[in-house]
Amino acid sequence: MTHRIFITIEYDGGPFVGWQRQDNGISVQQVLEAAACTLTGGDCPIQGAGRTDSGVHATGQVAHLDVPDRFDAARVMAALNALTAEHPVTVRSAHEVPAEAHARFSATGRRYLYRILPRLAPPALDLGRVWHHRAALAVPPMQLAAEQLVGRHDFTSFRASQCQADSPLRTLDELRVETIGEEVHVHAAARSFLHHQVRNIVGTLALVGTGKWTPDDVAAALRARDRSAADPTAPPEGLYLTKVTYPF
């Protein structure tokens, strides 16, 4: 007999091709599944809540796995951390959930943080963990532009051309821009996101922050329903999946 465990994971996305297994390099999923197979002695698939891209980080990714009943959540957490110690991946917590609970399909919300460092000098300690934006950014107009995007919209202008979602309609529950020390942080929350949606939004907000665009330009780009109306895409290294919520 088996039972289902939810694990909350943080990782540095820099060394990985992303969350999901791929043929062109090592993924976070691959590292965790290899550890789980060593623990259980057999195949042990792990399903993540979000398919973060190469270079994207997480502090609150959630995944599930089914393990034999003799392994409780605490043992699973300890074993996975021991077996993945050579990689920048940590299981922060683990708990048992009902058998029908699903890390991806049961999720009711996801939150992302995007970190921008707007200064001329490059980062040393946070290299690869922030978007080094060499021009200053004005936050108030960025926030005004962000407010144009909150709510349910057709986000065609902010989805990747290779996005496989059936519909471009999404409801953005929160899009907030704030200054934290030297950095500019963009917070985004929704039930689900389109491929590259957050990075495309941040890239457009940065145009507003530098004065190249106005908040009205962002509203016009949204109405255009055309990806070419809302370039550019912010780089992956500033993006973090910070939280996934569930109804249980």
**Tens-digit pLDDT profile for residues 37-77:** 999 999 999 999 999 999 999 999 999 999 999 999 999 99
Percent of the chain with pLDDT over 70: 100
Could you tell me the fold of the domain covering 109-245?
Alpha-Beta Plaits (3.30.70)
| Assessment of whether the complete model's pTM goes beyond 0.85 | yes
Instruction: Respond yes or no: is residue 216 known to be catalytic.
Output: no
- ∠ Cα 181 202 153 (to 5°): 130
The mean-pLDDT minimum among 85-89, 111-115, 226-230 falls in 226-230
Domain with CATH 3.30.70.580 in the chain: 2-97
Could you tell me the fold of the domain covering 2-97?
Alpha-Beta Plaits (3.30.70)
The predicted pLDDT at position 231 comes to 78
The predicted pLDDT at position 161 comes to 84
Instruction: Give the residues across from 67 on adjacent strands.
Output: 3
Q: For residues 165-170, give the mean pLDDT.
A: 95
Sort strands 131-133 and 109-118 into parallel, antiparallel or unpaired: parallel
Residue 163 identity: C
Domain with CATH 3.30.70.660 in the chain: 109-245
The predicted pLDDT at position 102 comes to 98
**Active-site residue identified among 23, 43, 53, 217:** 53
